[in-house]
């Protein structure tokens, strides 16, 4: 069952997918599975590959980097592979999970949880871009919740200051300012 059987062969591949195939081709050449001419030909085709089907053609006769898995790199369903990982088994970035939890917890802890949500969200998104892990949506949601919580906290502080200054002016208390001579 190849990627083309369910329409995934025509799905556009990502740069991370092409990088995965490039590494498989390099490993195969280093192991002597591909001659220099085959490696060069497939590497040239890899530059122009746009879909999972085209990537599958380049690696269908080569073993995967995951021990104990079938040779095809891009397969679908039935616990087989898709994009070099077992389908549905892409690990979730733990920083993304922490960012989302902090973003939600700021309901109880205000900006004390909002700031970590922002920091963890940025770190998680950088790690996800580098590793290809799952969890980008969680990281983004945690960051957005953190920024919204921080903005609402700042707005609340401004409102409290304005109300305090207005109350002081009504009572005739001079507003704090630079001391004059």
pLDDT in tens, 68-124: 444 444 444 344 444 444 444 678 999 999 999 999 999 898 878 999 999 999 999
Asked which of 59, 86, 113 is the last residue of a domain, the reply is 86
pLDDT surpasses 80 at 151 = yes
Going by pLDDT thresholds of 50, 70 and 90, the confidence category of residue 11 is: confident
50 and 17 share one domain: yes
Asked which of 69, 86, 103 is the last residue of a domain, the reply is 86
Residue 22, classed as helix, strand or coil, is helix
21 and 66 share one domain: yes
Q: Which residues pair with 81 in a beta bridge?
A: 86
Asked which of 63, 86, 109 is the last residue of a domain, the reply is 86
Contacts of 4 (CB under 8 A, 6+ apart): 10, 53, 56
pLDDT in tens, 42-65: 888 888 888 888 888 888 787 655
Give residue 32's domain range: 3-86
Residue 179, domain member (yes or no): no
Residue 164, domain member (yes or no): yes
111 and 40 share one domain: no
Residue 13, domain member (yes or no): yes
Nearest 10 degrees: Cα torsion 97, 98, 100, 101: 120
56 and 14 share one domain: yes
Percent of the chain having pLDDT more than 70? 75
pLDDT surpasses 70 at 20 = yes
Residue 135, domain member (yes or no): yes
77 and 132 share one domain: no
121 and 56 share one domain: no
pLDDT surpasses 60 at 33 = yes
The per-residue pLDDT for 121 is: 95
Is residue 71 within 8 Å of 63, Cβ to Cβ? Answer: yes
The per-residue pLDDT for 58 is: 84
């Amino acid at each position: 069952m190849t990627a083309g059987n369910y329409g995934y062969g025509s799905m556009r591949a990502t740069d991370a997918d092409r990088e995965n195939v490039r590494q498989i081709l390099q490993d195969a050449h280093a192991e002597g599975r591909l001659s220099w001419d085959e490696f060069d030909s497939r590497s040239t085709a890899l530059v122009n590959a746009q879909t999972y089907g085209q990537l599958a053609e380049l690696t269908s006769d080569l073993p995967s980097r995951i021990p104990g898995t079938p040779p095809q790199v891009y397969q679908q369903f039935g616990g087989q592979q898709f994009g070099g990982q077992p389908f549905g088994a892409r690990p979730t970035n733990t920083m993304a999970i922490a960012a989302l939890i902090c973003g939600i917890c700021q309901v109880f802890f205000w900006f004390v949880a909002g700031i970590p949500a922002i920091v963890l969200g940025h770190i998680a998104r950088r790690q996800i871009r580098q590793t290809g892990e799952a969890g980008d949506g969680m990281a983004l949601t945690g960051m957005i919740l953190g920024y919204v919580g921080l903005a609402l906290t700042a707005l609340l502080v401004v409102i409290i200051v304005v109300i305090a200054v207005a109350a002081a002016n009504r009572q005739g208390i001079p507003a704090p300012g630079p001391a004059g001579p």
